[in-house]
Each structure stands twice: as structure tokens, then as C-alpha cells.
């Protein structure tokens, strides 16, 4: 169990993630083989090599005539190069004849070039002189209007690296290789619980001092958007025994538990106490050098990740994006994160809080560039998240960013 001296040491985001990592690495060694048709949004568990060249035959990118490029050199409108046409290639058929000198074959787009052909003349540059005789009115260079064998992929090259998230285009790529079963990480099972005496279910009418449960739904949505199997377990009052019993069940049924704390310190302390009592190693951080999100707590109970997120809805969402999402999309394990888009900041941003800061922003197109406009508003307001297009990260050691400076942003839409 953590000693109380380390409990109250506020950790940076990187320190918090590093403290959790050794306990949950085993999750990323699990593999599930699933049908390609079900793979959207899933994360591959290994480098996947190409099983064959793509394309595996030389194919035309135009309707026209496959030729030897050398037979067309010097051709022009006034002096066409003459070619004997030997029939045409149909889609899905492989031509068997070697293309001789001065000979061409008519081709559809996507058709396979015969052996010996190294270019395709577009239909617009062909003149039919009758019978088998055609004139080429514009010379082609070798390789023109065709895709060569292996131009897209060569056999054996890595087409998807480990921990890539599968999008529609990756599904197509896997299909092109005949890979109809894909090794992926199991979906994280995420349980979400709202806590606090003042929190009520959305269908109830709030009395003065009560708040409808927003976080249960924002966190559920965020977890589902990350591809997790997520479930909202409802609301528990600040009662140690009740909380202990629900948490015990949730830890059995999930890989990760998210507690959305009531805004009171008491609520957070109960959660911290339980995380530390329910199993090893228990609570690993109590507070993050993060803005918004300082009250975040986290730990590991017998191999299960557990986080206590702030009660303020916008803070809870930002904290989810910074410390929960990286486990769900496996980005904690690989540094080849996708490059972030950039834009120009419209106002000065002061930080200097001794904390990392994530600022909600609007992103407005401005010619070729993007204008990045900070959204003013307190972290408790969910509306600021609805208006936000993106987050801008201000590092721990940066006092602030000046207007006119180029900044990276992480899209939330």
C-alpha cells in the first residue's frame, strides 16, 4: 500500500502514467483474432507484413492501347506512329501473347498489360486508320499510364505497425492482402460510476443544491468513442460501505474503473481510501500537476486501472482525454503518435501555474491557415466543451503562449 507521504505528492501527467504502466502491461499482451468485417476501430497487436505485392500485375490506369513506348517516340499529330492492333484485353483476363515490336493491344482501365508492353497510349491520342492499323498522335514514355507490380506494396513490407488503430482504409488494405482475420487487442471493459451526495439521475428534477449526472454520460461517450466496452453503473452517495460494495463488483467486471467524484473533497477522500484498501498496489497518485484536473486520483487494484476524475464536467472530459484515453488507444505504449495539426493563436495564453495546462479552443479556417481561439469559461461548464473543437497543450515549464504564435492542437471532433 502507498504510504501517506507519497499519497499527497502531486504528480505530473508523465509521472502518473509511468507509475501505473508496470502494473497493466500484461493487458497489451492479450490478443483476439477477429473477422476483418468487425475490425473497425480496433487496435492491431503486431506489425502486419504484406502477404503479396499490390498490384500483383502491371495494370493500365487509362482506356487506350498498351504499347512498347519506344514504338511511339517522335509521334505527333502530323506524323503519327503506326501500330498494328492485336485485339483487346478484357477485364479480369490475363493476356497470353508477348507484345512484339510495332504492335499494340487495346486496354480497359485496370486491365492487365501483356508481357513486353511498358506504356499505355490514351484513347484520345489514337487514330483508327481502318482494319488493324492505328496511329499514335502523342509519344508515351516507359511507365506512362500504368501502375507497376508492387507499386503500392511489396511483399513482406510492414503495412500496419503494431498498435495501429484500424480505420476504413486499413480495412481495405488488409482485404487487399487476403487477411480476413486480424489480431487485435481485446476491447477494454470500462466501468463508470458517478459519486456524490448532490448528484441525481438525469430524469429527475433537481432540487436546489442538486446536479444532474453529466459526467456519467460524457465519460461513457468518451470511452465508447475509444472503442471500449463501456458501462455506466449509476450513482452512489458518499457512503463508504455502499461505495466499497459497488467498486468491488466493478473491479471484478472491468479492466478499468472511472469514478467521477462529487465536487467535494470528502467524496474524493473516500474514493482514495477505497482504492488504497481494495488491493495492491493501491493508490499511486493523489492530485495531478494539471489544469484543469488537479484533483484527479489514480491507482491500480490487482491489475485493474482505477481513476477518480474531477466533478466539473469539462475538467473530467479533459482529464479523460489526457490520462484515460492513452490506455484505451494504446498510445501510452508507442511514441509514433500522429502529428498534430497546427494553427495561429489569436490571443495570449498565460499559464505559469506550475501545472500542465490544456486549453479549450475553437479552430476557425483562415485561408490556408487555422486561427486557434481560446474559449473563455470556467472548467465546470459543459458548454465550453460543446463549443470546443480542440485542446491546446501548454507544457509544465512554459509561462504562456503569445498571440500570433503557431500552436499544435488535438481535435475533439
Please name which of 109, 170, 103, 161 lies closest in space to residue 133, comparing C-alpha atoms.
103
What separation in angstroms does the CA of 360 have from each of 143, 234, 408? 50, 28, 12
Is residue 54 within 8 Å of 156, Cβ to Cβ?
no
Sign of the CA dihedral running 315, 317, 318, 320: positive
Rounded (5°) CA angle 233-237-241? 90
Alpha carbon distance 11, 322 (integer Å): 14
Q: Kindly report the pTM of this predicted structure.
A: 0.86
Q: Which residues of 300-333 are buried (b: 16+ CB within 10 A; e: fewer)?
A: bbeebbbbbbbbbbbbbbbbbbbbbbbbbbbbbe
DSSP readout, 136-162? E-S---TTTTEE-TTSSB-TTSEEE-T
C-alpha grid cell for residue 62? 487509362
Q: Which residues, listed in sequence order, are joined to residue 165 by a DSSP beta bridge?
A: 43
For the chain, 413 residues long, give each residue's pLDDT as a single digit of tens. Answer: 444 444 456 899 999 999 999 999 999 999 999 999 999 999 999 999 999 999 999 999 999 999 999 999 999 999 999 999 999 999 999 999 999 999 999 999 999 999 999 999 999 999 999 999 999 999 999 999 999 999 999 999 999 999 999 999 999 999 999 999 999 999 999 999 999 999 999 999 999 999 999 999 999 999 999 999 999 999 999 899 999 999 999 999 999 999 997 556 777 888 999 999 999 999 999 999 998 888 999 999 999 999 999 988 999 999 999 999 999 999 998 866 678 899 999 999 887 678 899 999 999 999 999 999 999 876 667 888 899 999 999 998 888 899 999 999 999 98
Alpha carbon distance 91, 109 (integer Å): 8
Please name which of 331, 188, 332, 333 lies closest in space to residue 256, comparing C-alpha atoms.
188
**Within a 10 A sphere around the Cβ of 85, how many other Cβ atoms?**
17
Is residue 315 within 8 Å of 382, Cβ to Cβ?
no
Please name which of 404, 285, 293, 291 lies closest in space to residue 352, comparing C-alpha atoms.
291
Alpha carbon distance 319, 358 (integer Å): 9
Can you list the domains of the chain with their CATH numbers?
Answer: 4-30+186-328 (3.40.980.10), 32-52+160-184 (3.90.105.10), 59-147 (2.170.190.11), 342-411 (2.40.340.10)
How many CA atoms within 13 Å lie on the side-chain side of 258? 34
Backbone conformation region of residue 204, classed left if phi is above 0, alpha if psi is from -120 to 50, else beta: beta
What separation in angstroms does the CA of 246 have from each of 81, 123, 192, 232? 83, 72, 11, 12
Please name which of 336, 298, 330 lies closest in space to residue 27, comparing C-alpha atoms.
330
Amino acid at each position: 500500500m502507498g504510504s501517506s507521504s507519497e499519497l499527497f505528492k502531486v504528480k505530473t501527467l508523465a509521472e502518473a502514467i509511468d507509475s501505473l504502466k508496470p502494473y497493466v502491461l500484461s493487458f497489451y499482451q492479450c490478443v483476439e483474432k477477429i473477422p476483418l468485417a468487425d475490425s473497425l476501430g480496433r487496435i492491431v497487436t503486431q506489425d502486419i507484413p504484406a502477404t503479396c505485392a499490390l498490384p500483383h500485375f502491371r495494370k493500365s490506369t487509362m482506356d487506350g492501347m498498351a504499347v512498347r513506348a519506344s514504338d511511339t517516340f517522335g509521334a505527333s499529330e502530323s506524323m503519327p506512329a503506326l501500330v498494328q492492333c492485336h485485339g483487346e484485353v478484357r477485364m479480369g483476363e490475363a493476356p497470353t501473347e508477348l507484345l512484339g515490336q510495332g504492335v499494340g493491344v487495346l486496354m480497359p482501365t485496370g486491365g492487365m498489360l501483356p508481357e513486353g508492353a511498358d506504356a499505355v497510349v490514351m484513347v484520345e491520342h489514337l487514330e483508327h486508320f481502318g482494319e488493324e492499323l492505328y496511329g499514335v498522335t502523342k509519344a508515351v514514355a516507359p511507365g506512362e499510364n500504368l501502375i507497376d507490380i508492387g507499386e503500392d506494396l511489396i511483399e513482406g513490407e510492414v503495412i500496419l505497425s503494431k498498435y495501429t488503430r484500424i480505420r476504413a482504409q486499413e480495412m481495405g488494405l488488409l482485404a487487399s492482402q487476403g487477411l480476413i482475420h486480424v489480431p487485435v487487442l481485446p476491447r477494454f471493459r470500462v466501468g463508470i460510476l458517478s459519486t456524490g451526495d448532490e448528484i441525481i439521475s438525469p430524469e429527475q428534477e433537481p432540487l436546489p443544491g442538486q446536479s444532474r449526472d453529466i459526467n456519467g454520460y460524457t465519460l461513457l461517450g468518451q470511452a465508447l468513442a475509444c472503442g471500449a466496452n463501456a458501462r455506466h453503473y449509476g450513482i452512489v452517495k458518499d457512503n463508504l460501505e455502499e461505495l466499497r460494495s459497488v467498486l468491488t463488483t466493478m473491479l471484478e467486471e472491468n479492466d478499468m474503473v472511472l469514478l467521477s467524484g462529487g465536487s467535494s473533497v470528502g467524496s474524493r477522500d473516500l474514493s482514495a481510501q477505497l482504492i488504497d484498501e481494495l488491493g495492491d498496489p493501491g493508490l499511486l497518485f493523489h492530485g495531478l500537476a494539471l489544469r484543469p484536473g488537479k484533483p484527479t486520483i489514480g491507482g491500480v487494484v490487482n491489475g485493474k486501472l482505477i481513476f477518480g476524475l474531477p466533478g466539473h464536467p469539462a475538467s473530467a472530459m479533459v482529464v479523460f482525454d489526457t490520462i484515460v484515453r492513452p490506455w484505451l488507444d494504446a498510445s501510452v505504449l508507442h511514441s509514433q503518435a500522429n502529428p498534430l495539426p497546427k494553427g495561429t493563436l489569436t490571443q495570449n495564453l498565460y499559464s505559469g501555474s506550475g501545472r500542465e495546462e490544456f486549453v479549450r479552443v475553437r479552430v476557425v479556417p483562415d485561408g490556408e491557415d487555422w486561427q486557434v481561439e481560446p474559449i473563455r469559461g470556467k472548467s465546470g461548464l459543459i458548454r465550453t466543451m460543446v463549443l470546443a473543437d480542440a485542446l491546446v497543450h501548454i507544457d509544465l515549464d512554459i509561462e504562456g503562449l503569445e498571440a500570433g504564435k503557431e500552436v499544435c492542437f488535438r481535435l475533439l471532433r
